[in-house]
Homo-oligomer: A and B are copies of this chain.
Amino acid sequence: MPLDPQRFLGDLHKLRCFGASGVGKGVVRQAYSNADIAARKWLAERFKDAGLEPYLDPLGNLFGLAGENSLLVGSHSDSQPEGGWLDGALGVIAGLEIARAAKEAGGPPISCVSFQDEEGRFGVLTGSDVWSGKLALEEADGFADDHGNTLANMRSTMADLASDFLPHDRFSGFLEMHIEQGPYLEETGLGIGVVTDIVGIRDMRISFEGRQNHAGTTPMHLRRDVFQALSDFNTALNSRFANVVTPATVWTIGHVALHPNASSIVPGRVEFSLQWRDADADRLARMEAIIRETVQEIAAGHGVAAQLGPVTGIEPAAMDARFQAELAAAAEALAPGKWQKMPSGALHDAANLATVMPAGMLFVPSIGGISHAFDEDTGEADLVLGLQVLNRAACALAG
């Protein structure tokens, strides 16, 4: 049987019932949450129904296996704390439909995968980081989320279902379909983006330790106020980055934990996240040097102690030339003139997979460029076009 767009859309809508936020189509399905585990069990059933062998590895990556030396197609089904319904789910269900259709049509062997914790509840791309060998399982086990839960604890809840890690050479390559998560395709009226490379990302936790004290009796000039230190650090960093970055470079302070966080106390400790992304590894390193230097200067100026956590992240990754060519050919055949090659500003499992097998990636438009939010969405015609382009390339690459 050929590809079934309605079955594909139906499964996509079913998956968003797991952790449905009740706000638009949004989902709350963080890695290892009850909703995430229930979704993976539901996916395993879909794999079985499609004649694929459900296979869970120790980290929680869920495969639907076809025969030996198959092409792997998928993404991730975990979400941000407040996530959209598509994000990684789109690539997983596209992989399911393509593998299922190939099986039904007696086509080439195509397997499907949903990686675990792509959204970085514990690390950055924890599931594919560990499977690709970039991160040791023992080290990942020590990672904790913002509430102090360790990955070791969370993954133990599914240990009874897990088998060993799969060898990479079981697969001939990896294809991932994803929403763009940015405004480019929509603004330029294109339906498909063929990804050339994925930007590198760096994550760091920084903390300042000052002097917690009474907010009424401590004169301003005697304070060691960590919120003031954080604010001045942010201001200084923005101006120092200006000489180094390009319009495509981004950096974000998205997490701030102030302590004790009471209105009448001068805050004595703050921990915050700093994330920066660029396609050029040298620029990422120059930015890290500026961050370290600025942290030390601001800390000294405010009389606070600074701690810099380890830098996690991933290198910029180029997509495989042959995979790019097949995706481009499929896009030109099905959407002539309506597609373009582009880099990915977002991080994806494909960046890890590219280090162990040929990998390719395809984007569909995001309405308003919105993602990692409940109102993330994409027109269903664009979703189906993406599925058809991905399927055409998959059959060519797996054949």
Interface residues in chain A, defined as those with a beta carbon under 8 Å from any beta carbon in chain B: 80-82, 119-120, 146, 180-183, 199, 201, 203, 212-222, 225, 227-228, 230-232, 234-235, 238, 247-258, 260-268, 273, 275, 277, 344-347, 369-373
Count of this chain's copies in the oligomeric assembly:
2
Task: Known A-B contacts: A216-B277, A222-B369, A263-B275. Give 15 more (CB < 8 A).
Answer: A81-B261, A120-B263, A180-B217, A182-B214, A182-B218, A214-B371, A215-B275, A227-B234, A227-B253, A231-B231, A232-B235, A252-B265, A252-B266, A262-B372, A263-B273
Query: Distance in Å from the Cβ of A376 to the closest Cβ of chain B?
Result: 9
Q: Which of A119, A120, A215, A222 has the most CB of B within 10 A?
A: A215
Contact A261 B256 (CB under 8 A): yes
The majority secondary structure among interface residues of chain A is: loop
Contact B255 A213 (CB under 8 A): no
Query: Distance in Å from the Cβ of A114 to the closest Cβ of chain B?
Result: 19
Q: How far is the CA of A214 from the CA of B371 in the complex (A)?
A: 6
Query: Distance in Å from the Cβ of A267 to the closest Cβ of chain B?
Result: 6
Q: How far is the CA of A146 from the CA of B261 in the complex (A)?
A: 9
Q: How far is the CA of A82 from the CA of B264 in the complex (A)?
A: 12
Contact A216 B120 (CB under 8 A): no
Contact A252 B225 (CB under 8 A): yes
Contact A215 B371 (CB under 8 A): no
Contacts of A181 in B (CB 8 A): 214, 216-217
Given A225-B252, A227-B253, A261-B255: A217 in contact with B369 (beta carbons within 8 A): yes
Q: What are 20 A-B pairs with beta-carbon distances under 8 A?
A: A80-B260, A120-B263, A181-B217, A182-B214, A203-B263, A214-B372, A215-B275, A218-B369, A219-B250, A220-B247, A221-B247, A225-B252, A227-B234, A228-B234, A228-B238, A231-B235, A254-B261, A254-B265, A255-B261, A265-B372
Contact A371 B183 (CB under 8 A): no
By Cβ-Cβ distance, the 9 closest A-B pairs, closest first, are A182-B217, A263-B273, A215-B252, A216-B346, A181-B217, A217-B345, A231-B234, A231-B231, A181-B214
